[in-house]
Structure formats: structure tokens, C-alpha cells
Amino acid sequence: MLPATSYTRIDDDGKPYLQGSRCPDCGAVFVGEREHCGRCGARARMMSVHLGERGHLYCYTIVHRSYPGIKVPFISAIVDLDGGGTVKGNLLDVEPDPSRLRFDMRVRMVFRGAEVASTEGAGFIAHFFILDPENSRG
């Protein structure tokens, strides 16, 4: 399968992950490759990092109408990743009902075929989020 985004990578063992950049001066983390830091302005010092696989739901929207071929309704989520970086992805395996969601809930990144979200996604691998089992701990 081919990566669905420019920042999706597949390691030597075939495991997908998201690649990011960390500034050694201020510690800011960004999704994808960056040459310069958008926070402190450090130039040509960014380090490549594997982004975290878990995080917190920052915000979401439930999408009921979209382009042809996109399966609706779906939950479009913004997630603050553990270790830094913020990324958008669909939240899967949760009923698209606001009573089932809460801001700051724990989520875990998973990789699946992009056809999960779009009929045109066959042949591509994409990142999604699911609820982290940590949410059920009390």
C-alpha cells in the first residue's frame, strides 16, 4: 500500500507511522518535514521524529455531508499527540453522537486502508483514531 499523506512513513518492518519535526532549540513539534521552526525561527536545525501514537481529542466535528464517495456521517477529529504535534484524522468505531464524545478523551492512532473513509482510497494506507482503552479505566 502507498502512504495517503506526505508525512506517513513505513519503517523497515512494514509498520506505518507519522513523521514529524522537532526543534532542538524550543522543543516545538510539527507534523511532516520542516526545515525551519515556526515557533522560534531556528533555521536548518529541525530533527526528524516519529510522532506519538496516542493523544487527546482536542476538538471534533460530525460531518453529515461531503463529496461523492466519502462515507458519511463521520467524526473528523483534531488530536494533540503525546510528545507534541497536532494532527487531523477521522475517529472510527464511535457512534457519531456528541453524547458519546468528550473533549480531552484519550485516543490511539491506527492505520488502515484509506477505503475506510473514501471509495477512492483503495491502495492507500491512512491514519485514523480510535478510543484508547485507557478511557474505560476508573
Cα–Cα distance measured from residue 44 to residue 52, given in angstroms and rounded to the nearest whole number: 23
Residue 117 has pLDDT above 50, yes or no: yes
Nearest alpha carbon to residue 75 among 43, 39, 49, 100: 100
Rounded Cα distance, 19 and 56, in Å: 18
Do 30 and 66 sit in the same domain of this protein? no
Distance CA 116, CA 120 (A): 10
- Tell me, yes or no, whether 78 and 104 share the same domain: yes
pLDDT score of 19: 98
Q: Is 11 exposed, middle or buried (0-12, 13-18, 19+ CB in 10 A)?
A: exposed
- Residues 60, 109, single domain; the answer is yes
Same domain for 71 and 129?
A: yes
Q: How many angstroms separate the Cα of 16 from the Cα of each of 7, 26, 61, 67, 125? A: 10, 27, 26, 27, 8
pLDDT at 119: 84
Whether 31 and 96 share a structural domain: no
Cα–Cα distance, 39 to 49 (Å, whole number): 17
Residues 62 and 123 in one domain: yes
* Average pLDDT score over residue span 108-127: 93
By percentage, how much of the chain surpasses pLDDT 90? 88
Structural domain count of the chain? 2
Give yes or no: residues 38 and 60 share one domain. no
115 and 132 in a single domain? The answer is yes
Enumerate the β-bridge partners of residue 10: 16
Residue 138, pLDDT > 60, answer: no
Three cell numbers at 2? 502507498
Q: At 108, which helix (H) or strand (E)?
A: strand 106-113
Same domain for 103 and 39: no
Q: Is the pLDDT of residue 62 over 70?
A: yes
Co-location of 98 and 120 in the same domain: yes
The domain of 15 spans 2-50
Work out the mean pLDDT of the chain and round it to a whole number: 94
Task: For residues 82 and 59, state if they share a domain.
Answer: yes
